[in-house]
Chain A
Amino acid sequence: MNSSAPAVHVDGVVKRFGAVTAVDGLSLDIHPGEVVAFLGPNGAGKTTTVDMVLGLSQPTEGVVEVFGGDPRRAVALGRVAAVMQSGGLLKDFTVRETIELTASLFRPSRPVDEVLERAGIADISDRLVGKASGGQQQRLRFALALLPDPDLLILDEPTTGMDVQGRRDFWAAIRSDAARGRTTVFATHYLEEADAYADRIVLVRHGRIVADGTAAEIKSMAAGRTVRATLPHADTGSLARVPGVDSVDLRGDSVLIHGSDSDAIARHLLNHTDARDLEITSRNLEDAFVALTADAPATQGALA
Chain B
Amino acid sequence: MTTSTTTRTVPPLGGFSPTFLRLELRRLMRNKRAVIFTLVMPSAFFLLFGTDSSYRTERAGHGNVTAYVMVSMAVYGAMIATTSGGAMVATERALGWSRQLRLTPLTPVAYVAVKVAVAMTMGLVAIVAVFVVGHLVGADLALGRLVLCGVLAWVCTLVFAAFGLFMGYLLPSENVMQILGPALALLSFAGGLFVPLEQMSDVFALVATFTPAYGVGVLARSPFGEDGSIWLAVVNVLAWATVFVLGAAWRMSRDTQRV
Contact = CB atoms under 8 A, between A and B. Distances in A.
Main secondary structure of the interface of A (DSSP, over half): loop
Contacts of B11: 104-107
B1 A149 contact: yes
Interface in A145-159: 145, 148-151
A60 to B, nearest CB: 14
B259 A93 contact: no
Contacts of B259: 56-57
Interface string A139-177: 001001100111100000000000000000000000001
A88 B99 contact: yes
B100 A84 contact: yes
B105 A77 contact: yes
Interface string B188-232: 000000000000000000000000000000000000000000000
A199 B26 CA distance: 45
A182 interface: yes
Nearest to B15: A105
Interface residues of B, number: 30
Nearest to A180: B1
A56 to B, nearest CB: 6
A79 to B, nearest CB: 6
B104 A90 contact: no
Contacts of A100: 19, 23
A104 B97 CA distance: 16
A81 interface: yes
A102 B27 contact: no
Interface residues of A, number: 39
Contacts of B2: 149, 151
Interface in A237-253: none
Contacts of B95: 88-91
B19 A101 contact: yes
Q: Which of B8, B103, B259: most chain A Cβ within 10 A? A: B103
Interface in A70-96: 75-79, 81-82, 84, 86-93
Contacts of A88: 92, 95-100
A97 interface: yes
B102 interface: yes
B10 interface: yes
Contacts of B23: 93, 97, 100-101, 104
Nearest to B24: A101
A264 B106 CA distance: 64
Contact of B104 (A56, A84, A106, A108): A106
Given A88-B99, A151-B2, A77 B104 contact: no
Interface string B1-22: 1100010111100010101100
Nearest to B94: A88
Given A78-B8, A90-B95, A101-B19, 6 more contacts: A81-B103, A86-B96, A89-B100, A91-B95, A105-B104, A144-B103
The 3 closest A-B pairs by CB, nearest first: A88-B96, A76-B105, A88-B95
Interface of B: 1-2, 6, 8-11, 15, 17, 19-20, 23, 26-27, 30-31, 92, 95-100, 102-106, 258-259
29 contacts: A56-B259, A76-B10, A76-B105, A77-B10, A84-B99, A84-B100, A87-B96, A88-B96, A89-B97, A90-B27, A92-B27, A92-B30, A92-B31, A97-B26, A101-B20, A101-B23, A102-B104, A104-B17, A104-B20, A105-B105, A106-B11, A106-B104, A108-B6, A141-B100, A144-B103, A148-B8, A149-B2, A180-B1, A182-B1
